[in-house]
């Protein structure tokens, strides 16, 4: 009778051990998946910024339009205004991706602070873009509350 009790205890112990090992394996898989997602989002955000810079480097006309945004009140033709808006929309969308990545735990606070510094320096360098960004932010409900856009909102 006692040997049945010992055997049962050993079997229960092995069952608990297998559950614990299974949970540890699942936790490891979740961590690896999260790390892969973080790396992927970092890559995608970097590629978006690279695409923006490549666009400016490869298009002298657009680069000239964006350089005019360094003035507080640039004067554009209608076509230039649309090009400027498109270029600034790309930055806004990339910054929104940064905000969403941070909100979903795919970006550390330090990485987010680096992106926020980028927004601050871009706003300082392109004051003429603030009215463009303001229209875009105001046209999207809730955008003004996102911390990534605070340097823009402060200038609106």
Does 15 map to a domain? no
* pLDDT tens readout for residues 45-58: 888 888 888 888 89
Residue 4 falls within a domain, yes or no? no
Residue 12 lies inside a defined structural domain of this protein: no
If we measure between CA atoms, which residue out of 78, 85, 90, 79 comes closest to residue 128? 85
Q: What is the pTM of this model?
A: 0.75
Which domain, by its residues, includes 103? Answer: 36-153
Number of domains in the chain: 1
Mean pLDDT for the chain? 87
Q: Distance between CA 130 and CA 12 in Å, rounded?
A: 66
> In this structure, is residue 120 part of a structural domain?
yes
Closest alpha carbon to 89 in 24, 40, 134: 134
Neighbours of 115 (CB within 10 A): 20
> pLDDT digit string (tens) for 85-133?
989 999 998 999 999 999 998 888 999 999 999 999 999 999 999 999 9
In a domain, 133, yes or no: yes
Question: Is 78 inside any structural domain?
Answer: yes
The answer as to whether 52 is a domain residue is yes
């Amino acid at each position: 009778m006692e040997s049945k009790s010992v055997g049962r205890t050993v079997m229960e112990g092995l069952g608990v051990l297998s559950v614990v090992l299974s949970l540890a394996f699942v936790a490891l898989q979740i961590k690896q998946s999260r790390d892969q997602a973080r790396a992927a989002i970092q890559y995608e955000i970097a590629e978006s910024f690279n695409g923006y810079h490549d666009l400016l480097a490869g298009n002298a006309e657009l680069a000239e339009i964006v350089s005019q945004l360094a003035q507080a009140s640039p004067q554009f033709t209608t076509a230039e205004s649309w090009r400027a808006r498109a270029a600034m929309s790309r930055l806004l969308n990339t910054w929104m991706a940064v905000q969403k990545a941070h909100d979903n735990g795919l970006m550390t606070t330090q990485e987010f602070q680096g992106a926020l510094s980028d927004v601050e320096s871009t706003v300082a360098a392109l004051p003429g873009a603030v009215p463009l960004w303001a229209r875009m932010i105001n046209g999207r409900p809730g955008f003004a509350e996102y911390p990534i856009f605070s340097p823009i909102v402060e200038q609106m």
